[in-house]
Structure 1
Amino acid sequence: MRPLRILLLLLLAFASMPLAASPAADTLAADSEARWVPFQLTTGNQIRFRALMDGRWVDAMLDTGLSDTAVSASFARAAGMKPLVQAHADAIGGAIPLAWTGLGRVEIGGLVRTGGRIAIITADPRATGPDAVDLFVGGDLLAGHALDIDYAARRFRLLPSGRMPFRGVTMPLRLAGSNNLYLTELAIGVRVQRGVIVDTGDGAMLTLTRSTWRNSGAQAGPVTSAVAYGAGGRVETDLVLLPDLRLGTLPPQTAELRIEGDTGFTARKGAAGRIGGGLLRRHRVLLDPRAGRMILAVNDAAWQPSRSTSGLMTAQDGRRLKVLHVMRGSPAAATGWTAGAEICAVDGAAIPSAYATSAVAGWSVGTPGRVVQLDLCDGNRRSLTLARFY
């Protein structure tokens, strides 16, 4: 069983700023249907792939939650890209600095973008996991085309808008004005929720604002708490299992729901919620806002995120685990655990350098009733009995 991991989110809405640059021009190859781009689906449910930028290969992320394509500040410095206009971005977790500069050439599958502008951002590195991202591919580059994501085969491609390469359930999809945010709808409880952001860079399954959740009339089980990291830093949300999420005419699904405060990013954008990669990965997905539709075909309906039975959300720091959050109502909360504690061994096994893929890692989502012995780095030992709590 996989370990419970801190959720990774990346969704930005850039401030609109003028920039003198050559106009952006897109060219989609005649054989774009054959130009699949292989990707890695990270443990945070984010799509990582390789792209060509000004003739050099870069590590990229496919992110429909970004209004504008961006490069990291560290990559921009290494590539000699000079910031021309300073601005800011509203992001999950808070505002972040950015600068605008001119774009040369980007190639992704059958698509070539030349000219226009590109943002340089300084984001919280925890939002993208341990491996750095050079290029964040956003809605400004993607929205004019149909994006076909085959999660099962770990590949995607860009097609002319209007193409329907597979059969599935069709849902409405539109762009949110100049923000280039993809918006759809879904049904929860007795209400259809409109204005829901579709964000491939968000590792969660589903996030709703507190007001949207309160007004939905939906029934769910016990509510706990969780943390996530967005480009602007740490975010704490409520967390609950939702038994009857409905996407179009697909059968109801069970989904992990995060409930975000009404001053959070989603509410600031005037949206009701966000569909993230954790839910999208159950399907083959076609996103075509120009044609006004999203198509979903189920390919892995049984996939579920790892469900904590310990209540400890941790991050690896070398050969130790640091407790980042103690989930409300959990066994860890009931036995006095606090954030900041550091674990150096589990059931006598030291934390390995490749912890995430090791046999040790499954303890925090283990079978209810199991007693886990945790050796703290200060020399103390504590036992923790695992249990279902949400």
Structure 2
Amino acid sequence: MEKRSVQRVFVLDKNKQPLMPCHPARARELLKKGKAAVFRYHPFTIILKDREGGDTQPIQVKIDPGSKYTGVALVADFKRGKKVIWASVIYHRGHVIKKNLDTRRGVRRSRRNRKTRYRKPRFLNRKRKEGWLPPSLISRAENILTWVKRIRRFSPVTSISMELVRFDTQKLQNPEIKGVEYQRGTLYGYEVKEYLLEKWGRKCVYCGKENVPLEIEHIVPKSKGGSDRISNLTLACHECNQKKNNQSIDEFLANNPKKLNQIKARAKGPLKDVASVNATRWYLFNQLKKEGLPIEVGTGGQTKYNREMQNYSKKHWIDAACVGESGYNVQLEPDMQVLEITAMGHGMRRICFVDKYGFPKSYRPKERTYMGYKTGDIVLANVPKGKNKGIHIGRIAIRHRPSFLLNGVGDVHPKYLTLLQKNDGYGYQIF
């Protein structure tokens, strides 16, 4: 089995002030000698028992915000160059929030068609504040802000770098408005190509091939009056591009009207995920400014340029490391272990569950904790006997009786449990 590069361990001094992250082997040595104790399980953090202060190097937290995933990387500026020492991918739950809000709206609207109590309309007294964002988008931004603040508590961060815009619209608008050639420069083609890759799903629109070199292709050929507008560009593999040649898409797909209609509809459609990222970019930027650290910004095209110039693969955390001008010369291990962080939420505020007609069918218990534990806590279970005998680590689901459900194990008595980390609304996995 191929050995993977490990990420650094966060270190705190005895006053809980962040020190320079150390190698896992060094952390194991400190723990074994009793000079340190485990402070947090995810991300793994140790606290020194008798040390106060220490020398540190500049560390930059780099962020590649996304609609569904956000890459985060810590880059340390050593004498030998910049190196990624820790990385993670945050999985957002904006789509779950939107689905829940749609369900709630459907239940409330159904009341108006039944003989229930009269509820006065609220359409005249609703006013959204300036800069209002929907809850699904606020959730994405707040996840990122939460982890920037946590990382600052565990490591001596000196600056922040983030991808402010997914695409440089100035490099996209000129061809759309004036019909002229794209702006030339160092990033020529990278903004447009990355936009098309996101829009068309990173595969050939004609044959559906993935993981092959893709070429920019004109839906209406320039020889037949086609323009360089973004709405007239798509992606195709080399074989399909050569086969289509200077035919119009109507001629090329005359025998496949279904595919023809799909491509035409998608060419005019907006890029939903990019729109959601662009909607929150200034909110996120203004909130990060409140941290009081220098902030570097970059575009998605610049990120791709830095990544390809260094021959790195396409991964969310690698994109984060390559953000901005500082991402041009960054050392990293492509097979590095990465912490996968999944936003789970903190439960629901509803007091009862309803059926499809909107009538209550069950109620939630008032007490959310039992015997000092809460659903979602990470625990160490040392079971001395029975079918679940052994040492296990996982999350628990409490019951209001001395028999908890341990993830992947089964029923475990609370007396065999040791709390490692309280539920903080996130799930963790190292991959």
Higher strand share: 1
Higher helix share: 2
Rg bigger for which structure?
2
TM-score of Structure 1 vs Structure 2, range by shorter chain: under 0.3
